[in-house]
A and B are shown apart, each in its own frame.
Chain A
Amino acid sequence: MTKINLSRRGFIKITGLASGGLVLGFHWAGCTPVRPAEAAKVVLEPNAYIKILSDGMVILMSPVPEIGQGIKTAIPMIIAEELDVSWENVLVEQAPLAPELYERQTAGGSQAIRQLWTTVRTAGAAGRRMLMGAAAREWKVPIAELTTSAGIISHEKSGNSIGYGDIATKANNIEVPEEVTLKDPKDFKIIGTSPKNVDVYDIVVGKPLFGMDMKKEGTVIAMITHPPAFGMKPKSVDDSAARAIPGIQDVFTITTFPEDIETRWSGNNAFPELVVVTGESTWNVMKAKKALKIEWETVTPGENTEDHIAEMERQISGKMTEPDRIDGNPEATFRKAAKVIERTYSAPFLPHNTMEPMNFYAHVTGDKVEFEGPTQTPQRLRDVTAQIMGIPEENITVNILRSGGGFGRRLYGHYGVEAAMISKKINAPVQLIYTREDDMTQGTYRPDYRVRYKAGIDADNNLIALTVSGTGTDGGPVASNRFPAGALDHYAAKNYSLKSNISTGAWRAPRSNFIAGAEQSFLDEVAEACGKDPMDFRLELLERAKNDPVGENNDYDPDRFIALLNLIKEKCEWDNKVEGIYRGISAYYCHNSYIAQVIDIEMKDNKPILKKAWCAVDCGIVINLDGAKNQVEGGIMDGIGHAMYGNITFNDGVIDQKNFDKYRLIRHGEGPETVETYFVDNGIDPTGLGEPSLPPVPGALANALYRATGKRLYHQPYILELEEREINLG
């Protein structure tokens, strides 16, 4: 059992009574419970996360945006666990943006569960404690003699028992406890089970859940047109044909972000000037958008794919100076090595391609803004809007809707600000909708990357030195303190960066989404050059990092890594080689979690078939077991698809792929037929899961394809390399 002293916790924020008497670290609605409206049948709100209904049901608020990662189910599970109610009696509501009530209403970095773990447990435990306090007072017995189970408080000595709903009606003026006791994980009843996604029923019957689905009375449809190439801006607009289309209301140009504010969205705003069409229905506005005749002018020169590749190659080709990390003397070690292997890996820009394109609702009235839509960063939307439009933050509301995919794209809420600026201009509520083409050619891409690894092997087939130089648009991908740093006496790592007018952004597992595959492909090749089994080779390096680590800043725990590899080794029966099954292994640490994968390939008529993916995960305590498996399966599919097919190319700043006819995403039948996922059971507080299952995938895939075809793969999308080598992938 963990005791949480509420008044002594570091995160406690004491605020004055002006804000409603908030006294505790996770924000309370008040010192004393708030009495809800009769109609709602809510009888007690112990804090901002919990509403107790008179019939014993509870409403649990989910503060974090749901983007497909399952957080709207997982956070309430944690609260319900500590509140000690049956999951069947839980209703879940998405909370709007309310920074005064909730911490970190952000979907990003796979950090929601990790960072809110104690907060939301404490919320549940405090709610339970308050209800117990009410029962103790009612029965005039010590609170220590009470127990709870599934929403019922019992007093064994007297035989009394009462449901949460009944006692909640009597719980007024029960003080918020100063200290609560959290459950021992071994007593968890909800955490670790597999309830369904709380929205699954609404999804399968087509209920309106997404920003695109919200139809508010009087809302004007707006679409934007951004320049056809990066580096351009509109010069003049001939809107006569557009305005002739029925139902079109207005055509105008907006300048979305003053220069000094651009970087508030990580500098991703490549197109600050946009041409806007507004009208009464989506189809008419789409047609009008196509009918615009816009003259563009060049601000900065358009770039080309080949130039990016050449410049990145130049950057990583020079002698490494001022490395980000250096241990020993790798260059001298290479000179005396028996064998030196040097390999270059690369990957292109990738768009996020959430299935639901960017869209947002905004209604500006005077100095107030009402927002609703899909976003991973509602607070940033509020803050940036306040800054740009000169509106007080407290006058801006954001209703968070389920996102039809996030993957990092909706960290950048410029489309919300655009909706607000359009609403202000036309003085009406606006639903801004991007077409797929707007969405795919807008930028905010996963950066293009290039990295060079060099390894020295001694006469006894030991890896004795390794260097890595990497670069990419807006920053290189190398994590210099991660494995194999710490396992080698001679090691150096260095990042370079490429400047571009093509905008980049966080894309599921930033940097790791490329570097893990490159590193794990390289280590596979090095293992082979050393004549070692690729699994044993990794374990050997990790043992070294564990027993005699080099350097002090190693950003991983070798023990957890070793346990993880041993788990997958056992589960996939690694040592039991099966004729005709070609296997690739890959493992990576990111987002505080450890993931290992094995992909099994069979060759059928000279065509590689992805039979199965095995995955071992150490993300600490798993909240929703089947939900977690779903994330892992999706991450593997996503990783295979993007490594195999994902490709954005550009000529004179014009993106060649504008829609799914030219941009290939993985489809049915192209991924592994089955995925088996295992979690390390170590009782450690939870860490990230939304992102980490993706990064190792390109490595496991390339390593399996190598064993199946004899061809090593270095450059994504792999499909192009495989085609060059006349390997049919169907």
Chain B
Amino acid sequence: MASISLKVNGKPFRIEAEDDIPLLWALRDHVGLVGTKYGCGIAQCGSCTVLVDGVATRSCVMPAKSLGEAEIITIEGLAENGGKSLQEAWVEHDTPQCGYCQAGQIISAAGLLKSNSNPTDEEIDAAMKGNICRCGSYVRIKAAIKTAIMKGGVEA
């Protein structure tokens, strides 16, 4: 067991957990933020995506203790951290079907727009390729990303 410090959505947390706990399970079981989802556990589906210092990161394979002072933003904190336009665009396009993967999709889109405020279609596809939507909402996800860009994108 280890004492691990995390900074999540601007707030500091100290958790007692297994030394090797991935960020995903630290967030879900210890910090109490369950918006970040488990999908595969091997960084293949993107459901667990969070921002670590602004970079879209698969939390299911990211050791929590490696993060130190890094700024972690989860879906619960995205609106207050520059990503509200994406969430609004997701609503405008009524993008989700089952909704389970969408937190990861939105966070990946936020990571993309933080590094590239006006991506091409190919750049959107490349950045989003790690996020699976089993319901097949890809057309709407792309449309929502474009709407968010039109409405000012995300704060870097």
Contact = CB atoms under 8 A, between A and B. Distances in A.
Interface of A: 67-70, 194, 196-197, 199-201, 203-210, 212-213, 215, 246-247, 281-284, 286-287, 353-357, 402-407, 433, 435-436, 626-627, 630-631, 633-638, 641, 659-661, 665-669, 671-675
A129 to B, nearest CB: 33
Contacts of B106: 204
Contacts of A669: 122, 125-126, 128-129, 138
A283 B135 contact: no
B39 interface: yes
Contacts of A355: 37, 39, 45, 47, 98, 100-101, 132-134
Given A208-B34, A660-B45, A634 B91 contact: no
Interface of B: 1, 17-18, 21-22, 25, 28-30, 32-42, 44-45, 47, 74-76, 78-79, 87, 90-91, 94-103, 106, 121-122, 124-126, 128-142
A661 B136 contact: no
A405 B87 contact: no
Quick one: which of A70, A203, A247, A353 has the most chain B CB within 10 A?
A203
19 contacts: A197-B99, A204-B75, A205-B87, A206-B34, A209-B99, A247-B18, A283-B21, A283-B25, A286-B41, A355-B101, A630-B140, A634-B135, A636-B136, A641-B136, A667-B128, A667-B138, A668-B138, A668-B142, A673-B121
A283 B41 contact: no
Contacts of B125: 668-669
Contacts of A203: 90, 96, 99, 102-103
Contact of A638 (B38, B40, B136): B136
A47 B78 CA distance: 40
A537 to B, nearest CB: 30
Contacts of A247: 18
A212 B91 contact: no
The binding surface of chain A is classed by DSSP as: loop
Given A204-B90, A354-B134, 12 more contacts: A203-B99, A204-B87, A205-B78, A206-B33, A206-B35, A208-B35, A404-B99, A404-B100, A631-B97, A667-B132, A669-B125, A669-B128
A266 to B, nearest CB: 22
Contact of B94 (A200, A641, A660, A671): A200
Quick one: which of A213, A281, A668 has the most chain B CB within 10 A?
A668
Quick one: which of A200, A204, A205 has the most chain B CB within 10 A?
A204
Given A281-B25, A284-B18, A405-B134, A199 B99 contact: yes
A200 B41 contact: no
The binding surface of chain B is classed by DSSP as: loop
**A-B complex: 8 closest residue pairs judged by Cβ atoms:** A206-B35, A637-B136, A404-B100, A68-B98, A669-B125, A206-B75, A660-B44, A203-B99
Contacts of A68: 96-99, 135
Contact of A197 (B47, B76, B96): B96
Contacts of B129: 667-669
A405 B124 contact: no
A627 B31 CA distance: 35
Given A212-B38, A356-B98, A660-B45, A205 B76 contact: yes
A430 to B, nearest CB: 15
Contacts of A357: 38-39
Contacts of B130: 667
B136 A635 contact: yes
A675 B139 contact: yes
Contacts of B41: 286, 435-436, 659
A405 B1 contact: no
A286 B25 CA distance: 11
B29 A659 contact: no
B138 A215 contact: no
B35 A661 contact: no
B94 A196 contact: yes
Contacts of A672: 139
A7 B74 CA distance: 54
B132 A402 contact: no
A402 B136 contact: no
Nearest to B107: A206
Quick one: which of B22, B38, B90 has the most chain A CB within 10 A?
B38
Contacts of B134: 353-355, 405, 407, 638, 665
A196 B97 CA distance: 11
B76 A354 contact: no
Nearest to B45: A660
Contacts of B95: 200
A627 B94 contact: yes
B130 to A, nearest CB: 8
A470 to B, nearest CB: 27
A212 B24 CA distance: 13
Given A204-B91, A667-B129, A660 B40 contact: yes
B96 A671 contact: no
B42 A70 contact: no
A626 B42 CA distance: 34
A98 to B, nearest CB: 23
A246 B19 CA distance: 11
